[in-house]
Structure 1
Amino acid sequence: MPTPEADPERHHHHRGRTTRPPAAVVRPARPSLRQLFRVASVACGIQFGWALQLSLLTPYVQELGIPHAWASVIWLCGPLSGLIVQPMVGHMSDRSTSRFGRRRPFIVAGAACIAVSVLIIGYSADIGWLLGDRGGVRPRAIGVFVFGFWILDVANNVTQGPCRALLADLTGKDHRRTRVANAYFSLFMAVGNILGYATGAFSYWYKVFPFTLTSACDVNCANLKSAFIIDIAFIALTTYLSTSAAQELPLGSSDRNTPFADEEPGHSSQAEEAFLWELFGTFRYFSASIWLILLVTGLNWIGWFPFLLFDTDWMGREIYGGEPNEGRNYSDGVRMGAFGLMLNSIMLGATSLLMERLCRKWGSGFVWGISNFIMALSFLAMLVITFVNKSIGHDSPPLGIVIASLVVFTILGIPLAITYSVPYALISSRIESLGLGQGLSMGVLNLAIVVPQVLVSLGSGPWDQLFGGGNSPAFAVAAVAALASGLVAILAIPRSIPQKPRSFT
């Protein structure tokens, strides 16, 4: 399949128009590892909120009155907004002429929207109470929650693409340093996860923030509200650390001594085209290796999304045998699930420290494939644990069952670290020569993530109900998808990327 030249003077054709890729970026000096480390730190704040979202919001929305079969539909906004918002934001940031730089305005704006959205979610029960909610099912609180939740997902997508693109801008064609930068990003995601899941597992935040406990907001709700207040402070800190470390210049700047200074003024002709046409028009230039990366990523996320969606719910239902708003078993299971996710994140962080060495020794495709096999075995183990626990039939789970569940959660941190790092490094290095802009390239990869999430969000609830309820059917599909993605990664993705030897310090 032909690809456009790396030469920025080459013209691309879309719908009969002649356009040019974004202006080339001059990088006279490589950024230090310390600078990359600080830039990647924003992932910690973003992932802190994601950890709270992933561990607590599926149980919480069921406590508001939404049935389990429909809980996954609430998450549909994430992939839908990612399908449009993240590629569009990447496209816009590639061409931004803001005096504050190309990526940083989007990162700051997204972080501010995250802060507003978590306040709406945290106070949804109180707002619903003021609007007239009483009793078990609280439709007004659900409406407020869904509104805030959708803003949160849009804000997350606004922030994440420019964060990844900023690292890609800094590292350029140095593929080894690109892997290091993405490993830093994965490490900070692990740290954010650890802090977020630890916050979600702590059950006495309402005593630290007593004003969160109200007539409409019980202890579980107050703990959620308190956790989101902490999240706001944390994301503000990490956003400042990250954006202050990368001194971007707007397109067309004449400063040649700072990264991100452009060789020539930016062009507006491409921005004038219909965005979606340009996004999908880039597909014609993709090589077979890029399509393989997108395929493995899609299968990978069919495996991951059921786990990320229902992990703590699985612990509350299948392991502790509880139901939302019925006794303490379910909430105890959710907190234990959050603790398991904290252990998962510790393993994620440890794996991130070894990422560059593993990929250099065995090849990115092989490492990615083995990690997907670990995923498949872990999901299979969850199905076995569920079956054994049901056959025992105790009111509370035996200690061995709880320990086995926590071990599986911990082991899954290994493939999760690779999922958070390797695909982004692979796609960034292979799409650099197309001259399409790193923001748009991150958006293209995101398409391979959000489409599987849409399928899982729409299908997991009805699929689970078809087989008697619970989360096991979704995990069975996840195991099959993970196995398939591992096979494709090992058999089809080359061990390394051809490149000239470069020094690395």
Structure 2
Amino acid sequence: MATKQNNTKPPSLQVEPATPPPESSPLRKIIVVASIAAGINFGWALQLSLLTPYVQLLGTPHFWASFIWLCGPVSGLMVQPIVGFYSDRCTSRFGRRRPFIAAGALAVAVAVFLIGYSADLGHMMGDSLEKKTRPRSIGVFVFGFWILDVANNMLQGPCRALLADLAAGDSRKTRTANGFFSFFMAVGNVLGYAAGADGKLYKSFSFTKTKACNEYCANLKSCFFISIALLIFVTVIAVIYVKEKPLESQKGGNEGDDSVDEGAGSLPCFGQLLGAFRELKRPMWILLLVTCLNWVAWFPFLMFDTDWMAKEVYGGTVGEGKAYNKGVHAGSLGLMLNSVVLGVVSLGVEVLARVVGGVKRLWGIVNILLAACLAATVLVTKLAEQSRKFAPGSHDPLPPSAGVSAAALSLFAVLGIPLAITYSIPFALASIFSNKSGAGQGLSLAVLNLAIVIPQMFVSVVNGPWDALFGGGNLPAFVAGAVAAAASGILSMILLPSPPPDFKPSAIGGMH
């Protein structure tokens, strides 16, 4: 018989097993599944470092480039709840999670092909190489980009859920699983940014350079080929080595399924999310507000970090000369440094929290640091403009001075500190606050995800017009992000409740 609490609380996005959970799996299986994060984040790093410059190379104006990044938050908003809901209820003989993981990896491969060959396919369909804008190539790129973001969300959610299944309620193994997932995220980032920083990688794949695809485009293809090979490799090993019991076997039949699946045809996962908002307590609402402002600050930089390096620091112009491409590769190097710092700091979040007097104070401090770094992009840009030099008879600027380059790369590296906190503390706080109110962890993280993707959608829509209002470039959005980061830091220290003394930030791994 259902309890009173079950009648008043919104159901979790997870299926409650009718039998006691099985024993936790060996650590080696957890590591194998967690390694999928390296393949996912290799491709994610390439998106952040190379795709904004590439879509502008196809002729998309800077004004419209940010709209393409709507793909990520929209797909996250729609796909994560749906995939999470139905992977919980999947009755395939291969298990609940593995079919979604395999399908996600296959979809990533298709998307990568479309993105890498968008210039060639557009040319085959009639794009003129003499014109700056290639509409058919842009169309293929955008279609592939949407598939890629949908596939990444389809892949990442079930992968995290499978790690939780393998831990089987063991808190120590849950922390360990999330720790390994975060570690492999950092590994994937470092590999992806290192590949993006190597401007000569295409020489190892000579077939990638074509009439419609220049050196930068060919290098992007080469990076994606390596990315998909890594993802397929780790995914195949994981789905073959780690077995799952079908859902019916775990539950002993379909008893009780009617109540679980009621309304499945109308996507009940979204109804559950809406119902959860009616149950939120004040601490969770404050957490959502701080997280929302935090991502308003982060997303402009994540969209245009390498573009800023190429345009404002190196003084390059898309499709003209070599300065822009050199700046993109330098930005990829900066993102690799960022990932190294991210990985190191992620291992010491608990220590840092004790040093500064608590997690909410730590989050506030690093958000102030984020604001300072975003504001400092203005100073670095001005220094780069004042010291810019040109070779005799050339309109292509020389690389910036060593001091300017060091300052720009230092900003990338220092930003790894607040990024490590962004990838850990909000998710752990959501778990703590929801547990105190009686909500399920899957439901609480789905609610928190809305505070991440909705700001990203907002920034994607307003970023282009906002930058254009102040004459173009990336600095207006960065300055607005600095203001949002400062507000997030102040609210975190003043309004956010402190978690219990035994709270461990590392219990929830990084997420994007």
The TM-score, its normalising length taken from structure 1, stands at 0.88
The CA distance in 2 between the partners of 1:343 and 1:264, in whole Å, is 52
2:394 corresponds to: none
How far 1:147 sits from its partner (Å)?
0.7
**Does structure 1 residue 382 correspond to structure 2 residue 377?**
yes
Amino acid at match of 1:10: N
2:138 corresponds to: 142
Query: Which range is displaced more, 158-167 or 69-78?
Result: 158-167
- 1:470 and 1:367, CA in 2 relative to 1: closer, same or farther beyond 3 A? same
- 1:28 and 1:370, CA in 2 relative to 1: closer, same or farther beyond 3 A? farther
- 1:75 and 1:383, CA in 2 relative to 1: closer, same or farther beyond 3 A? same
1:295-343 C-alpha deviation (Å, 9 max, x unpaired): 2221111111111100000000000101101111111100100011111
2:430 corresponds to: 427
2:338 corresponds to: 344
- 1:247 and 1:357, CA in 2 relative to 1: closer, same or farther beyond 3 A? farther
1:84 corresponds to: 78
1:258 corresponds to: none
Map of 1:327-476 to 2, 5 A cutoff?
A: 327-359=321-353, 362-394=357-389, 395-396=397-398, 397-431=400-434, 438-476=441-479
Query: Which range is displaced more, 396-405 or 414-423?
Result: 414-423
Contact 2:12 2:439 in 1 (8 A): no
The CA distance in 1 between the partners of 2:483 and 2:223, in whole Å, is 35
Query: Which range is displaced more, 124-133 or 414-423?
Result: 414-423
How far 1:240 sits from its partner (Å)?
3.4
2:233 corresponds to: 237
1:209-260 C-alpha deviation (Å, 9 max, x unpaired): 11111111111111101111111111112223444565433334348xxxxx
**Does structure 1 residue 199 correspond to structure 2 residue 164?**
no
SS at match of 1:346: helix
1:23 corresponds to: 16
- 1:416 and 1:180, CA in 2 relative to 1: closer, same or farther beyond 3 A? farther
2:261 corresponds to: 268
2:154 corresponds to: 158
**Does structure 1 residue 277 correspond to structure 2 residue 280?**
no
Contact 2:72 2:150 in 1 (8 A): yes
Contact 1:379 1:479 in 2 (8 A): yes
- 1:214 and 1:254, CA in 2 relative to 1: closer, same or farther beyond 3 A? closer
Amino acid at match of 1:52: L
The CA distance in 1 between the partners of 2:370 and 2:253, in whole Å, is 43
Contact 1:344 1:413 in 2 (8 A): yes
**Does structure 1 residue 66 correspond to structure 2 residue 60?**
yes
Please give the root-mean-square deviation of Cα atoms over the aligned residues, in Å.
Answer: 3.0
1:404-455 C-alpha deviation (Å, 9 max, x unpaired): 0001101111111222222223323443577766554433222111111111
Contact 1:253 1:265 in 2 (8 A): no
Contact 1:22 1:437 in 2 (8 A): no
- 1:33 and 1:356, CA in 2 relative to 1: closer, same or farther beyond 3 A? farther
- 1:69 and 1:226, CA in 2 relative to 1: closer, same or farther beyond 3 A? same
Query: Which of 299, 305, 308 in structure 1 is aligned with 2:299?
Result: 305
- 1:454 and 1:144, CA in 2 relative to 1: closer, same or farther beyond 3 A? same
1:141-180 C-alpha deviation (Å, 9 max, x unpaired): 1111111011111111222222333334455766676554
2:215 corresponds to: 219
- 1:419 and 1:382, CA in 2 relative to 1: closer, same or farther beyond 3 A? same
SS at match of 2:430: helix
The CA distance in 1 between the partners of 2:142 and 2:325, in whole Å, is 21
The CA distance in 2 between the partners of 1:98 and 1:356, in whole Å, is 40
1:451-478 C-alpha deviation (Å, 9 max, x unpaired): 1111111111111111111100100111
Contact 2:95 2:244 in 1 (8 A): yes
SS at match of 2:59: coil
2:290 corresponds to: 296
- 1:392 and 1:204, CA in 2 relative to 1: closer, same or farther beyond 3 A? closer
Contact 2:12 2:440 in 1 (8 A): no
SS at match of 1:253: helix
Contact 1:299 1:484 in 2 (8 A): yes
- 1:454 and 1:500, CA in 2 relative to 1: closer, same or farther beyond 3 A? closer
Contact 1:86 1:157 in 2 (8 A): yes
- 1:429 and 1:170, CA in 2 relative to 1: closer, same or farther beyond 3 A? farther
Query: Which range is displaced more, 275-284 or 222-231?
Result: 275-284
1:189 corresponds to: 185
- 1:372 and 1:167, CA in 2 relative to 1: closer, same or farther beyond 3 A? farther
Contact 1:44 1:190 in 2 (8 A): yes
How far 1:482 sits from its partner (Å)?
1.3
The CA distance in 1 between the partners of 2:490 and 2:23, in whole Å, is 40
Query: Which range is displaced more, 433-442 or 38-47?
Result: 433-442
Amino acid at match of 2:496: I
How far 1:262 sits from its partner (Å)?
10
The CA distance in 2 between the partners of 1:491 and 1:7, in whole Å, is 38
Contact 1:171 1:177 in 2 (8 A): yes
Query: For this pair of structures, how many residues does the alignment match?
Result: 489
Map of 1:123-142 to 2, 5 A cutoff?
A: 123-134=117-128, 135=130, 136-142=132-138
The CA distance in 2 between the partners of 1:334 and 1:352, in whole Å, is 26
Amino acid at match of 1:210: S
Contact 1:90 1:440 in 2 (8 A): no
Gaps of at least 5 residues in structure 2 are 390-396, 508-512
- 1:175 and 1:241, CA in 2 relative to 1: closer, same or farther beyond 3 A? same
SS at match of 1:214: coil
- 1:388 and 1:19, CA in 2 relative to 1: closer, same or farther beyond 3 A? closer
- 1:419 and 1:171, CA in 2 relative to 1: closer, same or farther beyond 3 A? farther
Question: What's the % identity of the aligned pairs?
Answer: 54
Contact 1:96 1:251 in 2 (8 A): yes
SS at match of 1:101: coil
The CA distance in 2 between the partners of 1:293 and 1:195, in whole Å, is 33
The TM-score, its normalising length taken from structure 2, stands at 0.87
The CA distance in 2 between the partners of 1:305 and 1:298, in whole Å, is 11
